[in-house]
Amino acid sequence: PRVAVIVVAAGSGERLGAGGPKAFVGIDAHTILRHALVRVFSAPLAQVVIVAPAGHEGDALTDALEAAGDRRDLVSVVTGGKTRQGSVSNGLAAVWADVQIVLVHDAARALTPSAVFERVIDAIDRGSDGALPVLPVVDTIKRVADTEVLHAVDREELAAAQTPQGFRRDILDAAYRAADRDYTDDAALVGAAGHAVSVVTGDPLAFKITTPADLDRARSLVSAAPV
Ligand code: CTP
Ligand code: MG
């Protein structure tokens, strides 16, 4: 199948607090976006759409062309929206007509190994409408109201969602057209449109760089992290 990946990189990175857009913060000599893209380009893809912060489209293109190597004709860059969902929507509008499967990936999950992309693509190839990588929840989770613990939630029923989340292209397009509010992620948006989304095994390296502590962790892992 023809697969496109939309890499959303248009957020401002408020919680990281680096003084500029998160995607262009360095992990080592290379940015968060460039690390994410090197791993994206190792997967079997037909198109990579990078959704960049307004005014940083050129910076995104520079990182993309470096990461792409001899696959630079796969690269498209578009400008992001106010919300992540808006950014994905802008990315979807740039997906080529012959693409059949679309994956949506957070640039902030910079160290996500390409094997995770392959698992998501495989699940859809085998007939799922959508697939997302998950990890088991390790902490004990409580339901609380105000200051009171109501009860523990059964961990067996819980999973932590990561990206890339992948979908049949026709289903993702229709679900975005039908979306009437902001959803927490693409799987929730597609689920709200009435489609079943299956799970595949995620990877601890697909953690999202959100806070300065996450960036420290990425910096300590990057030299040993697989592509
Ligand atoms: N994102 C985006 N467009 C937005 C908001 C977020 O493309 N309007 C992207 C981010 O660039 C990131 C991913 O969505 O790769 C996940 O978002 P998050 O980790 O929340 O990043 P930020 O929104 O940049 O961070 P913060 O919420 O701390 O400001
Ligand atoms: Mg955000």
Does residue 140 lie in a domain region?
Answer: no
Closest ligand by atom to 84 CA: 1
**pLDDT tens column, 53-67:** 999 999 999 999 999
Number of structural domains, the chain? Answer: 1
Does residue 166 lie in a domain region?
Answer: yes
High-pLDDT (> 70) share of the chain, % = 100
ipTM: 0.99
Does residue 145 lie in a domain region?
Answer: no
**pLDDT tens column, 97-151:** 999 999 999 999 999 999 999 999 999 999 999 999 999 999 889 999 999 999 8
Does residue 153 lie in a domain region?
Answer: no
Does residue 173 lie in a domain region?
Answer: yes
Name the residues around ion ligand 2, CB cutoff 5 A.
Answer: 11
Give the tokens for residue 88: 């994905």
Check whether 168 has a pLDDT greater than 90. Answer: yes
Distance CA 119, CA 135 (A): 14
> What's the CATH code of the domain at 192?
3.90.550.10
Does residue 142 lie in a domain region?
Answer: no
Structural domain that includes position 84: 3-130+161-224
In this prediction, residue 152 carries a pLDDT of 83
Adjacent-strand bridge partners of 50:
7, 77
Distance CA 103, CA 2 (A): 11
Closest ligand by atom to 52 CA: 1
Q: Closest by alpha carbon to 82, among 90, 74, 73?
A: 90
Does residue 152 lie in a domain region?
Answer: no
Backbone torsions φ then ψ of 130, nearest 5 degrees: -155, 160
Check whether 3 has a pLDDT greater than 90. Answer: yes
Residues with CB under 6 A from ligand 1: 8-15, 22-23, 51, 80-84, 87, 106-108, 208, 210
Q: Which amino acid is at 93?
A: A
In this prediction, residue 151 carries a pLDDT of 87
Does residue 143 lie in a domain region?
Answer: no
Please give the model's pTM, rounded to 2 decimal places: 0.97
